[in-house]
Structure 1
């Protein structure tokens, strides 16, 4: 449990460190990074901290879960340099990103509710033909255009196992049938949601093996949970940062 020192109480690096399960080196690193204001020194050169430093540490550690280490560092450095408005701007950016992530999640859920085969387009994209295969399905150019990505991205996804198009028996070109289009659309949305290729591949393999989308339900619940946790962490971080700003005067 972190200590709550009284104003004027002098603290050693170890006093700050113990309350948060940190090392004394971490405290020194935080000071050097500008996360903590500069410490006073004893006549023998030892660092001494105060309740203000303790408040800065609490604020930083509360900001990290919602904003990430790098952004939280930039926020604290801005405050300690007297640029509180810059810290507030960074907070605004994080909230905007969280809102965008929520919208992406909604888009994924919408895609799951309304997965339709992508119709063949006219001759408008890519080095491969833009018409549909004689056996049905869509070639790579029209599908890439429909998703707003490059054909090279679809080829990369194929190498990673995200999509598994068949080849036209006459031309040898890739042909994306209904299930392939579904997989490509889901891969596109999950990539936007921050999932890595190596996370998406086994998920889509389960979808193909199960013949449906049930395996995605767990991923979406986890995604909802992570967004909610970030939102709550941002509230906690904002409260601690406000307390620190008030203490600085």
Structure 2
């Protein structure tokens, strides 16, 4: 098939197909005497696998899997796919951990500044940069107190808890805007359904990615059968 035929099958532009070939996602195409590319079922099968894997694991992982297949490194491709599945499972585990955390810690949090810590200590504990905690504060997700004599931020036990929850939610893939209602509910001042809706939306997104990953694995298997790998 010609470039336009392969592109049309997958709703892509002809340039996108050429880009995928240049990136190693597709094996090198044969050429006619006039220099036109000619693709076959190997290319179509590769593109099906790649696009499905993108939906499940993202562009870098999908690209690396296909590159390794076409380089003859099937074991490496399968290892990369296993790692991508493990990462997806880890994201799901984080979401469920956060759900359990919110359930255990839900309700109004006591406000106390005794035993407070500086921002550097909290950042070190969470393995984050202080700038990240300051950005979360500007977004309204964190509300640390201030030392009256120096004006420096001081994180009490409730503030440390909030930073931990925000960190877990970010690891679970929630954008900052979606975290706000979760934090409101955790502090006892928000709509309980908002926190549940945010987590349910993340679960639904993970389910869609899992389905795409499953389709991608099936298409990859078909490609490996086709090339005799």
Which of 6, 19, 22 in structure 1 is aligned with 2:12?
A: 22
Which of 71, 92, 113 in structure 1 is aligned with 2:82?
A: 92
Q: Give the match for residue 65 of structure 2.
A: 75
Q: Give the match for residue 233 of structure 1.
A: 212
Distance in 1 between residues matched to 2:70 and 2:128, nearest whole Å: 44
Cα distance, 1:20 vs structure 2: 1.1
Which of 187, 191, 199 in structure 2 is aligned with 1:220?
A: 199
Equivalences, count:
225
Could you state the TM-score of these two structures normalised by the residue count of structure 2?
Answer: 0.83
CA contact (8 A) 2:53 2:216 kept: yes
Cα distance, 1:98 vs structure 2: 1.4
Cα distance, 1:115 vs structure 2: 1.5
Cα distance, 1:195 vs structure 2: 3.0
The aligned runs of 1:111-130 (5 Å cut-off) are 111-115=101-105
Could you state the TM-score of these two structures normalised by the residue count of structure 1?
Answer: 0.77
1:203 equivalent to 2:193? Answer: no
Distance in 2 between residues matched to 1:205 and 1:118, nearest whole Å: 11
Which of 64, 76, 91 in structure 2 is aligned with 1:101?
A: 91
With over 3 angstroms needed to count, the CA separation of the structure-2 counterparts of 1:231 and 1:75, relative to structure 1, is same
1:186 equivalent to 2:176? Answer: no
List gaps (5 residues or longer) in structure 1: 1-10, 120-131
1:43 equivalent to 2:22? Answer: no
Distance in 1 between residues matched to 2:120 and 2:39, nearest whole Å: 63
Distance in 2 between residues matched to 1:203 and 1:102, nearest whole Å: 20
Which of 167, 172, 182 in structure 1 is aligned with 2:146?
A: 167
Distance in 1 between residues matched to 2:207 and 2:32, nearest whole Å: 45
Give the structure with the higher percent helix.
2
Question: How large is the RMSD of aligned CA atoms in angstroms?
Answer: 3.2
Please give the secondary structure, in 2, of the residue aligned with 1:221: helix
With over 3 angstroms needed to count, the CA separation of the structure-2 counterparts of 1:196 and 1:114, relative to structure 1, is same
Structure with larger RCO (C-alpha < 8 A, sep 6+): 2
CA contact (8 A) 2:52 2:215 kept: yes
